[in-house]
Structure 1
Amino acid sequence: MTILLKKSKILEPRNPNRSTALFGGKASGILNWNDIPYPHFYKLREMIRNQFWIADEVDMTYDTKQFSHLTKEEKTAYLKIIGLLASLDSSQTNMAFKISEYTTDPSVSAIMATIADQETEHNRSYAYILSSVTDWETQRKAFEAPRTDQLLLERNEPIVEVYNRFSVNPTLENVLDAMIYTSLLEGLFFYSGFAYFYNLARNNKMVGTSTMISYINKDEMQHANFITELYRATLGENPEYNTEERAKWVYEQYKRGVESEIKWSNSLLRNIDGIYLPEMEGYIRYRANKMLRMLGLSNIYPEYIKNPMKWVHAFVDNFDHTKTDFFEQRSRQYTKTSDLNGFDDL
């Protein structure tokens, strides 16, 4: 059975304020956070909103001086990864907007608006990073790479297919598929790139960039947390879609994603000092396991239950602690102190 979703009306006062379903239900459009079907969504929203930061506040002075001293391989990786991250975050802004158009739960729409706003700041941060360290033509080429580089095109092809399928044919099945690819982006596809910048920083290189990436990383972890909760809740409301066939499809997408991420990282990071490729491959498989468990599924790589690259923890601060940059004696911690502090391990 195919359930075609309709765009939600902005206001429908004859409907109840409390939504009757996440998708395909009824709601007035009047949001009362004290009366929503999934009360824990409010806590997730607060965890997302507590992480406020602005790209232009990150000091890139030292990075501007250091960029020209990076090796050729380090510069290539730096520019290509920034280009990739920019392409992924561009799609995430639009995907959050698309989901908000079709959800019939105002709380989900509100959370998606917050996520979309954060994704625009991520995208802005990549432009800010590049404008700080290199010339306009190099910046332009970095942003062009995701649509011209063959390896990047192949890597992003499944994302393009699944996202565009939902956009032109907004069925319940297609929005579920899009959520899975959102979980892949937020929880897996960014992570070898993030690790590259943390590796530079642990060698006292491009620390400003690493700081920016750590803010983005923390946001993405919270986005991934919410999208997995939304996926599971949607399946709970629509048990006819919670099938072995769907679970098999999800496993296949994660295996495909892991293979793609490993191929990408091996091609780009093989000559980077401090990056040990077998360790990176294990880290990618570990991230896949972690995201699958968050989706309510099982590990597909039983030998990678623990993080083999624990050193990355030093670069994404725990919410219960405050760290400072190597060169800046300023707080890297923007999040407010509250009882919601604490997030999923890297």
Structure 2
Amino acid sequence: MLLDPGMDLTLRPMRYPDFYERYRAAIRNTWTVEEVDLGSDLADLAGLGDGERHLINRLVAFFATGDSIVANNLVLNLYKHVNAPEARLYLSRQLFEEAVHVQFYLTLLDTYVPDHDERAQAFAAVEHIPSIRAKAEFCFRWIDSLGSLDSLRTREDRRAFLLNLVCFAACIEGLFFYGAFAYVYWFRSRGLLHGLASGTNWVFRDESLHMEFAFSVVDTVRAEEPELFDAELTHQVTQMMEEAVAAELAFAHDLCEPTGRTGRLPGMSTADMRRYLEYVADQRLARLGMPARYGSANPFAFMELQDVQELANFFERRVSAYQTAVEGSVSFDESF
């Protein structure tokens, strides 16, 4: 089975062709940081108000290390326990994509924060900005949750792996990053920071595919070992999601109300972010076949429109809705 100890090296006969097709789809979605033009953002940055400037500074500080944390978990905990070579092909590709994201955010910081000392502070945000440190500590706790586990031999081992996988797919890539994307697309909805939005389109698409791959691993394990998916696992995942929402909401409060006053950001508030995060959390729980926790509706029309890829945005150097050498049909049905 998929989580059995060992390191299967045989691609034929292929046990999990869906994983291989996801790898091929990711290859078709190749992009490079050099395709993203951030130059037009500089004039927008100069015109931002104090509240908007605070938000963008906090946002890029989170971006500075977010994908590196995901890459570390992928290498330390995921690759060695998913025993299918076609799945490891996808994880290898995902690691490359995380590296591209890290490069994109490095370029973003170099462009947005030209001062060397300010950039150093951004990279150290996990140490000195409480709202970012809390999110990082949440991530590190789940990275460490598997400890020195070298193989998944017991029911408890496999449940621990599932919780780690679900955490990084649903809570970190599926909630922390989606919260960050909402701020980016809020700026875009106001005609600002199109360079940042252009690069984020690619990152958004990558992260959606990473998340769906992880959920497909969960689906496979559920089919092979249904006894792992009991009421206790549902309780643990729901509790984990509640902790993630609380951490991301504290980050939202930091971004949207740095002085404790509301109404500084048109169309963006902590209350709106709460509803959005609760909505996204319920989407993730539903994808995992678990009951909704919050029942909130999406308050951001611009995130609903993100479901429609950038087919008309021909001002980008290369439109992010297109793939390389696409054959057959392409559908965009991700729930946001």
TM band (smaller chain): 0.7 to 0.9
Structure 1 position 157 matched with structure 2 position 137: yes
Number of corresponding residues = 319
Q: Deviations over 1:107-161 (max 9, x none)?
A: 1111111111101111111111111222122222111112221222223322211
**Cα gap change, 1:323/1:167 in structure 2, threshold over 3 Å: closer, same or farther?**
farther
Shift of 1:300: 1.3
CA shift for structure 1 position 235 = 3.4
Please state how far the C-alpha of 1:340 moved relative to its aligned partner. 5.3
Q: Classify 1:294/1:57 alpha carbon distance in 2 versus 1 (closer, same or farther; 3 Å).
A: same
Q: Which ranges of structure 1 fall in alignment gaps of 5 or more residues? A: 1-20
2:79 counterpart SS class: helix
User: Do the aligned partners of residues 278 and 324 (structure 1) sit closer, same or farther apart at CA in structure 2, a change above 3 Å counting?
Assistant: same
Distance 2:329 2:293 in 1: 30
Displacement, 1:315? 4.7
Cα shift at 1:279: 2.6
SS in 1 for 2:265: coil
Is structure 2 residue 71 aligned with structure 1 residue 93? yes
- Residue 59 of structure 2 aligns with which residue? 81
Change in Cα spacing, 1:290 to 1:46, as seen in structure 2 (3 Å) is farther
Q: Greater relative contact order (Cα 8 A, min sep 6): structure 1 or 2?
A: 2
TM-aligned CA deviation for residue 163 of structure 1: 0.7
1:143 aligned partner: 123
Distance 1:331 1:67 in 2: 23
1:338 deviation in Å? 3.5
TM-score by length of 1: 0.84
Aligned equivalent of 1:187? 174
Q: Is the 8 A contact 1:225 1:294 kept in 2?
A: no
1:231–1:278 Cα change, 3 Å: same
Q: Which residue in 2 is equivalent to 1:311?
A: 302
Give the 3-state SS of the residue equivalent to 2:80 in structure 1.
helix
Q: Choose the corresponding residue for 2:41, options 63, 77, 83.
A: 63
Q: For residues 158 and 39 of structure 2, what CA distance do their matches in structure 1 show?
A: 48
- TM-score, normalised relative to structure 2: 0.87
RMSD over aligned CA atoms reads: 2.2
Give the secondary structure class of the aligned counterpart of 1:274: coil
What's the counterpart of residue 266 of structure 2? 273
* Structure 2 SS opposite 1:22: coil
- Structure 1 residue 329 displacement after superposition: 7.0
Residue 345, structure 1, aligned to residue 332, structure 2: no
Aligned CA distance change for structure 1 residues 172 and 208 (closer, same or farther; 3 Å): same
- Residue in structure 1 matched with residue 112 of structure 2 by the alignment: 133
The 8 Å contact of residues 43 and 340 in structure 1, kept in 2 or not, is answered as no
**8 Å CA contact retained: 2:113, 2:119:** yes
Q: How does 1:239-254 map to 2 (within 5 A)?
A: 239-254=226-241
Unaligned residue ranges in structure 2 (runs of 5+): 151-156, 258-263
Q: Could you tell me how far 1:62 is from its partner in structure 2?
A: 1.0
Bigger Cα displacement from structure 2, 243-252 vs 68-77: 68-77
> Shift of residue 224 of structure 1?
0.6
Contact 2:82 2:88 in 1 (8 A): yes
CA distance in 2, matches of 1:284, 1:311: 15
The answer as to whether partners of 2:20 and 2:87 remain within 8 angstroms in 1 is no
Asked whether the 8 Å contact 1:163–1:178 carries over to 2, the reply is yes
Is 1:282 the counterpart of 2:278? The answer is no
Is 1:46 the counterpart of 2:33? The answer is no
- What secondary structure, in the 3-state scheme, does the structure 2 residue paired with 1:190 have? helix
